Amino acid sequence: MNESSAKHILVAGGTGLVGSRLCQELLNSGYRVSILSRREGVSKEGIPLLSWNALDQIIPSVYAVINLAGEGIADKRWSSQRKAAIRSSRTETTSRLVDAYRRCSDRRPGILINASAIGIYGSHDGTPIDENSGVGLGFLSEVCQDWEAAADPVSTLGVRLVKVRIGIVLARSGGALPKMSLPIRFFQGAKLGNGQQGFSWIHLDDLVSILIHCIENDQYQGVLNATSPFPTTNETFTRLLGKQLRRPILPVPAFVTRSVLNLLMGEMADAMLLKGAFVYPKILQNLGFRFKFARPEAAMKDLLG
C-alpha cells in the first residue's frame, strides 16, 4: 500500500466530466476519495457522496480539496438568470469551502485546488498569453475573476492554493469534442467565423494528471494554465478533425457561420466560439510537467482513432 493510501481527497464537482475521471484516477493511485454532492449516497464508482451540510464534519479528515463545482457554461443559452447561476454556482461554492477551512483550525487541509478557466484572459488576436498576462473583459472573464477571488482568502490561513485555469477539455464523451465532431461526421463541418481565433485545449488525461500533480508537488501553487503547449486556430483544429474523421470541411463564408451561431446561441456564441486566445502553460512547462498529448493530432488520434 503506497503513501497516498492514507490521504483523503475531497472533490466538489466530482460527478462531472473531469471530476469522474479524476476520482477514478485518485482511487487507482491509492487515495481515499469522497465527493461533495447535492445528494447523498454512493457514486457508480463506489465513492461516497457526502452532503454539503456535513462539510464541517468532513474537513478535519481531509488532506486536500479539489473544487470543480459549477453550472455548465455552455449547457443552456445565456439569459440573465442563467448567467447569475453560472456565477453564483462558482463563487458561493468556493466561499463555502473557504469558510469551512477557516472554521477548521485544528486539523485543516493543507491544500485547496480550485478550478478556474482561461476565459479570464478574454479574447486576443494572436498575442501569446501566459500566467503573467492580464485579465480580459466580458462575462466569462468577470466570472473567473470572481471565482478566483473567492478562493484567495484561504491563502491567509497557511493553505497552499492552486488556481487551475482550464482550457477547452477534449474527451471521448462529453465536453467540446463530440459536439464539434457531429457536424463533420454528417459532412457539414466548417470553420467558425474567420477561423483565426485561438483554440486553447487540453486532453482530459493530461488535465487529470495536472490536478494530481497539484496534490503531490508543493511547487504547484498560485495560478497555472492547464492547456496544451500547442494551441491552434479554430480553422486548423477543424481541418485536423476533418482529416481524422475522413470528412471534408466546407468552405462556408465567415459571415454565414457567424450569423447562424449568433442566432442560435446569442451572446454565448461570440464569447465562446467566435473569439479566442492562444494560451500557453508556461508555469507547467517551467515545473517540468510532461504532457502525454501535447499536439492536437495526438489527442484526436487517441480520442477518435
φ, ψ of residue 161 to 5 degrees: the values are -105, 130
pLDDT in tens, 160-195: 999 999 999 999 998 899 989 998 988 788 989 999
pLDDT at 44: 79
**Nearest-angstrom CA–CA distance, 196 and 276:** 9
pLDDT in tens, 27-54: 999 999 999 988 888 887 889 999 999 9
Residue 3 — very low, low, confident or very high, per pLDDT cuts 50/70/90? low
Provide the number of structural domains found in the chain.
1
Helices 176-185 and 296-304 meet at what angle, rounded to 10? 80
Tell me the percentage of the chain whose pLDDT exceeds 70. 98
Q: Which single residue is written with the C-alpha cell 494572436? A: 126
Indicate the average pLDDT of the chain: 92
Q: Which single residue is written with the C-alpha cell 487540453? A: 202
State which residues form the domain around 149: 3-304
Pairing of strands 232-233, 198-199: antiparallel
Do 231 and 200 meet the contact criterion of CB atoms below 8 Å apart?
yes
Higher pLDDT among residues 76 and 2, named by residue: 76
Please state the pTM of the whole predicted model. 0.95
Kindly state the greatest CA–CA separation across the chain.
Answer: 63
Q: What is the CATH number of the domain that holds 31?
A: 3.40.50.720
pLDDT at 172: 94
**Nearest-angstrom CA–CA distance, 99 and 93:** 10
Q: Could you give the count of Cα atoms lying within 13 Å of 124 in the half-sphere of its Cβ?
A: 23
Counting every residue written for the chain, the total comes to 305
User: Which grid cell sits at 170?
Assistant: 477534449
Which helix (DSSP H) or strand (DSSP E) does residue 305 occupy? none
b/e per residue, 250-281, with b = 16+ CB within 10 A?
Answer: beeeeeebbeebbeebeebbbbbbbbbbbbbb
Residue 265 — very low, low, confident or very high, per pLDDT cuts 50/70/90? confident
**Nearest-angstrom CA–CA distance, 77 and 208:** 28
Do 204 and 227 meet the contact criterion of CB atoms below 8 Å apart?
no
pLDDT in tens, 76-135: 889 999 999 999 999 999 999 999 999 987 889 999 999 999 999 999 888 999 999 999
Pairing of strands 111-117, 48-51: unpaired
